[in-house]
């Protein structure tokens, strides 16, 4: 089992990272956490190379592309800023454009196997999750996530740290069980 978790948090010991750590301890197999704020992958520049080629024109995405293709599970975890996932996470995942181009322009399937996935959000409580959830679902769909677990949230992190949010931790347990199921 191979799982990729895209982490959109800039904080090394923040609420999003605490939720990722809790989940990671419960997942079977190999787990790769990709920290958007430390990633060498630059955002898509709309060069349109992927419109006619089954890869990104830039080498920085080559290894991640292969990992995405090989993964069994893909998750996106992020704090919510201004009703959206973080800018660095969007920048990193903009390279998912290569899969959109394959499907919609070239009518090809670049990712060989369907995946399971999920979304994890940490926020202070006055957010509308409709927008960031929609963004994440589009990104995950383009990475061929076909079975989604309900979004896991810790929604009062300005008062209660995520690791003390019993409802969020219980939801992470359910997410781990979903991702660990035999296929």
Q: What integer pLDDT is reported at residue 126 of this predicted model?
A: 81
- Cα separation of 121 and 15, whole Å? 9
Instruction: Provide the 3-class DSSP secondary structure of residue 73.
Output: strand
- Cα separation of 63 and 65, whole Å? 5
- Cα separation of 102 and 50, whole Å? 7
Summarize the confidence of residues 127-152 as an average pLDDT.
Answer: 96
CA nearest to 41, candidates 6, 85, 76: 6
Q: What integer pLDDT is reported at residue 127 of this predicted model?
A: 86
125 has a pLDDT exceeding 80: no
Task: Give residue limits of the domains in the chain.
Answer: 2-40+64-88+112-180
The dihedral sign for the CA sequence 92, 4, 151, 139: positive
Per-residue DSSP letter, 107:
-
Q: What integer pLDDT is reported at residue 46 of this predicted model?
A: 96
CA nearest to 103, candidates 147, 176, 50, 35: 50
Q: What integer pLDDT is reported at residue 167 of this predicted model?
A: 97
Q: What integer pLDDT is reported at residue 21 of this predicted model?
A: 97
- Cα separation of 157 and 165, whole Å? 9
Give the confidence band of 183 by pLDDT, cuts at 50, 70, 90. confident
pTM of the entire predicted model:
0.96
139 has a pLDDT exceeding 90: yes
81 has a pLDDT exceeding 80: yes
What is the CATH code for 2-40+64-88+112-180? Answer: 3.40.50.360
Give the confidence band of 93 by pLDDT, cuts at 50, 70, 90. very high
Summarize the confidence of residues 93-98 as an average pLDDT.
Answer: 97
Q: What integer pLDDT is reported at residue 149 of this predicted model?
A: 98
């Amino acid at each position: 089992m191979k799982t990729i978790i895209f982490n959109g948090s800039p904080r090394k010991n923040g609420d999003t990272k605490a939720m990722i750590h809790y989940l990671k301890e419960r997942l079977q197999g190999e787990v790769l956490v990709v920290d958007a704020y430390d990633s060498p992958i630059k955002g898509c520049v709309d060069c349109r190379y992927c419109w006619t080629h089954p890869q990104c024109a830039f080498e920085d995405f080559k290894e991640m592309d292969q990992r995405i293709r090989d993964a069994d599970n893909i998750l996106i975890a992020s704090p919510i800023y201004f009703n959206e996932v973080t800018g660095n996470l969007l920048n990193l995942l903009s390279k998912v454009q290569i899969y959109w181009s394959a499907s919609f322009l070239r009518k090809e399937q670049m990712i060989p196997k369907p995946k399971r996935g999920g979304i994890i959000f940490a926020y202070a409580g006055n957010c509308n999750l409709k927008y960031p959830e929609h963004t994440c679902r589009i990104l995950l769909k383009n990475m061929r996530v076909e079975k989604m677990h309900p979004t896991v949230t810790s929604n009062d992190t300005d008062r209660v740290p995520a690791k003390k949010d019993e409802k969020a931790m219980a939801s992470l347990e359910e997410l781990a069980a979903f991702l660990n199921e035999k296929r």
